[in-house]
Structure 1
Amino acid sequence: MPLPPLTIYRHDRKNRALITLAGEIDLETVPLVRASLERCLRDGIRTIDVDLTPVTFCDCCGLNAFLNASQRITAAGGTLRLHHPPPTLVLMLDVAGCEFLLLGLPFGHLPPPPEKAPATTAPVPPHRPVPPVPALAGGAV
């Protein structure tokens, strides 16, 4: 029996959640991502860390879901952080100027990624306001 295209695990600790996504995030699976993040908000969770280590692919639908969720979570007084994204998502975040979603490590559970080169930029502060995401025709980013 084949594995589902996306598996979602959630671990809560008080008012914080660690969501681990495994598989591919695309048009078919992005509703699961949106529902998972919305459920956290409905449950009163205001700090959401998303571990993307086991994600093999993420397209612009995934980026759009994370940006929309970030706006809703920030409006509710919380934060959304993405950890260890796949290279395609890192590139999209860089092009879109959305690096603010990449902050820290959740709960201290995850080891740091392998060192590739020394950091040449200043560390990211623990929280920055989320800039508004412009609406595009068709609702996609």
Structure 2
Amino acid sequence: MPLPPLTIYRHDRSERALITPAGEIDLDTVPLVRASLARCLRDGIRTIDVDLTVVTFCDCSGLNAFLHASQRITAAGGTLRLHHPPPMLVLMLDVAGCEFLLLGVPFGRLSPPPGYAPVTTVPVPPHRSVPSVPPVRVLSGGAV
């Protein structure tokens, strides 16, 4: 018997909840993610931590669900934080400028999974020169 593509566990502590999805978050499974986050709001939970340690895949529909939930939770006076996201989700959050969702205050004793390293940028050493790019002429009123 195959495992379901996504299972979501919820653990409440007073007005705080830990949501732990396990599996893949994609177009087919994102309604379950949306429903579980919305249910927290309906239940009066205002601080939601999402532990993504056992999420094997998350596409842009998952990112959209987290952004939508964050907006609703923030409007209700709460916070949503993602912990231990898969590398692809980290990249999408970085590109979209949504790092504010990442790595909030830990819930209980969450710890990074083995091999987890936060995204860092490495500065270009000063002895390297970056080739200059000639300016591009911009045309208006027509196709380029």
TM-score, shorter chain, exceeding 0.5: yes
1:26 aligned residue: 26
Q: Distance in 1 between matches of 2:116 and 2:56?
A: 20
Deviation at 1:116, TM superposition (A): 4.3
Structure 1 portions without partners, runs of 5+:
121-141
Residue 37 (structure 1) aligned with residue 55 (structure 2): no
1:132 aligned residue: none
Q: What CA deviation, in whole Å up to 9, does each residue of 1:24-83 have, x standing for no partner?
A: 000000000000000000000000000000000000000000000000000000000000
Deviation at 1:111, TM superposition (A): 1.4
Q: Distance in 2 between matches of 1:49 and 1:70?
A: 11
2:103 aligned residue: 103
Aligned-residue Cα RMSD (Å) equals 2.0
Q: TM-score, normalised by structure 2?
A: 0.78
2:5 aligned residue: 5
Residue 56 (structure 1) aligned with residue 56 (structure 2): yes
Secondary structure of residue in 2 paired with 1:38:
helix
Q: Distance in 2 between matches of 1:30 and 1:117?
A: 25
Q: Distance in 2 between matches of 1:87 and 1:97?
A: 15
Does structure 1 retain, via aligned residues, the 8 Å contact 2:84–2:103?
Answer: no
Deviation at 1:117, TM superposition (A): 7.7
1:73 aligned residue: 73
**Structure 2 counterpart of 1:60, one-letter code:** C
Secondary structure of residue in 1 paired with 2:12:
strand
Moved more, 103-112 or 66-75: 103-112
Secondary structure of residue in 2 paired with 1:72:
helix
Deviation at 1:110, TM superposition (A): 1.3
Q: What CA deviation, in whole Å up to 9, does each residue of 1:78-99 have, x standing for no partner?
A: 0000000001100000000000
Distance 1:75 1:110, change over 3 A: same
**Structure 1 counterpart of 2:67, one-letter code:** L
Secondary structure of residue in 1 paired with 2:62:
helix
**Structure 2 counterpart of 1:112, one-letter code:** P
2:133 aligned residue: none
Deviation at 1:104, TM superposition (A): 3.1
1:91 aligned residue: 91
Q: Which has the larger radius of gyration?
A: 2
